[in-house]
Structure 1
Amino acid sequence: MSAELVVAAIQMTSVDDVATNITQMEELLEEAFRKASPRFVSFPENCLYLRLKEGEKIEGLTVSHPAFAQLADLAKKYNTYLHLGSVPLYLEGHLYNSSLLITPEGEIHPTYQKMHLFDIQLDGQAPLRESDVFRHGQTPNLIEVDGFKIGEAICYDVRFAELFSQYARQEVDAILLPAAFLVKTGEAHWEILLRARAIENQSYVIAAAQGGTHQGLRGGTRETYGHSLIIDPWGTVVGQIEKRAPGVTISKLTRERIESVRRQIPMKFHRRLPVG
């Protein structure tokens, strides 16, 4: 079991074309490894494909898609774990907004399917509906990297604390929250929700985001908030990308920091579940 884990959160400006996004991912991985040697790299929601025309049919992927083989080669090249925040993935005949983990050996594992789908209507803006194409995921999921227990969530999940209470009871070391937050909701809610999740779970939060102006190859545009963050168990921001454009932030997660916070405020001994 490692005492520390070096992680990178990668911010992208993805579009509606897999090949274009793969090229961007390669460039950002190269940038990350010029700065450090992260053992774990987190990409944002919709990293391989971002729908930019609302209502447009999404051509889902399967794990046999050549894009995953390309990324598996990169994981082996850099000897690192690659976490794809989400891709449109077919599993058992259904399309999910799903995370995948690619190991340093190049193994490809679908892991978590987004439970809370983004069906919203902001004042003065067109409605957005993920459920018109995706099926709801059903269960939380943990992954393990060098002995660190990591809980998974995606974007809109951040608003539903009951999901994270399950991770708190399992004493996860970190939570992944890849996202493609809108600018309006990002300005109002992004950082405060992420810091709350870190504080209530006494765990790190790694939030790789989409950021910038997305121009679709087939028309359509979208603005996302960016501001990717890495937050420690005390709620302190230890890594961030302040611009709304592609970039990389790297931080070291340590067991010492996790244990220090939990020793000072031993929440696991105080937690009570409501009855009835």
Structure 2
Amino acid sequence: MTLRIATTQPAGSADARDNGLEARELMCQAAAMGARLIHFPEGFLSGYAKEQIADWDDVDWAAVRDELGKVAELAAELSVWVVLGSAHPLTPPHRPHNSLYVISDQGQITTRYDKRFCSNTEITRFYTPGFEPVVFDVDGYRFGCAICIEVNFPQLFAEYARLGVDCLLLSAWPVDSIFFLKAQAHAAINNYWLSLSVPDQSADLMRSAIIGPDGSQLVSVEVNAQPAVVTLNRDAPEFRIALNHARPWRAEADQGDIYHSRRVDDLRSADKTCA
């Protein structure tokens, strides 16, 4: 059983109409390449706060909802899943969530991931945090979601490994090049695929890419290019060690029983000062 997924690197803007149109163009390109799931950057549809949005009153929320609906309609037409970054408005005066909409191949919003670990500026000026992980399944593969600065909190990535994800979808607007190395490390440590989607404004730092469960970069989006597509395959021989040996062993080791069962009662072990 295999599954093709695509990551994107659109420029985006503060105009939801333009962003929605660009999203749909990329969806058509990805679908033509055989992708069943298309992944977009953080805050793409609505425009990203701090960088593109200075005040939520400047956002045309009606346009955001309308464009979201059009993306969902096209998802059904193309029979693809879409994971789309956008601010999600709450009831005033509450600030929006920084979210990823998960849109099914039936054109339905099946769930939404709300960023849990927001930056200081985000939490004090722009966003309301979320509090729950989100997983969903497509054609027998399980996905989890994370957003940007959450790359600095390894417990979130370990949590998704325990929840059985095959691929972590990380949408971001990174501000330093070390971000990519952190993403690779999470994929390699947790032995799952990781799709990284960043805006074209981050091109001087990194490209959107899909990383294998061994931490290797499999594909990346070239400058002003179509989406990058990878086939997820649990039986791929190059990932046999990562998926069939390292991942189950690390899960067992994390439980601790294999070590506790081998604890010994020995004075030379208990005495930390002996030679």
TM-score range, shorter chain: 0.7 to 0.9
Matched residue, 2:66:
66
Matched residue, 1:263:
244
Q: State the secondary structure of the residue aligned to 2:25.
A: helix
Answer yes or no: is the 8 Å Cα contact 2:234–2:243 preserved in 1. Answer: no
Query: Aligned pair 1:24/2:3, yes or no?
Result: no
Matched residue, 2:35:
38
Structure 2 counterpart of 1:203, one-letter code: Y
Give ranges in structure 2 of 5+ residues lacking alignment: 257-275
> How many angstroms apart in 2 are the aligned matches of 1:140 and 1:92?
22
Matched residue, 1:235:
215
Aligned residue pair count: 247
The CA deviation at 1:272 is 4.3
Matched residue, 2:129:
136
Encode CA deviations 1:196-250: one digit per residue, 9 max, x unaligned. Answer: 110111100011111238xxxxxxxxx874510101111111111243x464100
Answer yes or no: is the 8 Å Cα contact 1:180–1:225 preserved in 2. Answer: no
The CA deviation at 1:29 is 2.1
> How many angstroms apart in 2 are the aligned matches of 1:150 and 1:31?
22
Query: Aligned pair 1:177/2:170, yes or no?
Result: yes
CA gap of 1:56–1:166, structure 2 versus 1, over 3 A, is same
Matched residue, 2:191:
202
The CA deviation at 1:63 is 11
Give ranges in structure 1 of 5+ residues lacking alignment: 120-127, 214-222
Q: State the secondary structure of the residue aligned to 2:201.
A: strand
Structure 2 counterpart of 1:49, one-letter code: S
Among 147, 151, 155, the alignment partner of 1:154 is: 147
The CA deviation at 1:92 is 6.0
> How many angstroms apart in 2 are the aligned matches of 1:172 and 1:46?
23
Q: State the secondary structure of the residue aligned to 2:8.
A: strand
Matched residue, 2:262:
none
| Structure with greater proportional helix content | 2
Encode CA deviations 1:13-67: one digit per residue, 9 max, x unaligned. Answer: 0100100111111222232234x11011111111112244564235384899211
CA gap of 1:195–1:64, structure 2 versus 1, over 3 A, is closer
TM-score under structure 2 normalisation?
Answer: 0.81
Q: State the secondary structure of the residue aligned to 1:83.
A: strand
CA gap of 1:62–1:110, structure 2 versus 1, over 3 A, is farther
Give the 5 Å matches for 1:41-60: 41-50=38-47, 51=49, 52=51, 55-57=54-56, 59=59
> How many angstroms apart in 1 are the aligned matches of 2:242 and 2:123?
37
Worse-superposed segment, 256-265 or 132-141: 256-265
Answer yes or no: is the 8 Å Cα contact 1:211–1:226 preserved in 2. Answer: no
Answer yes or no: is the 8 Å Cα contact 2:79–2:106 preserved in 1. Answer: yes
> How many angstroms apart in 1 are the aligned matches of 2:162 and 2:170?
18
Answer yes or no: is the 8 Å Cα contact 2:14–2:53 preserved in 1. Answer: no
Task: Decide which structure has the larger Cα Rg and report it.
Answer: 2
> How many angstroms apart in 2 are the aligned matches of 1:81 and 1:203?
19
Answer yes or no: is the 8 Å Cα contact 1:177–1:207 preserved in 2. Answer: yes
Q: State the secondary structure of the residue aligned to 1:23.
A: helix
Answer yes or no: is the 8 Å Cα contact 1:227–1:242 preserved in 2. Answer: yes
CA gap of 1:174–1:60, structure 2 versus 1, over 3 A, is farther
State the structure with bigger RCO (CA 8 A, min sep 6), 1 or 2: 1
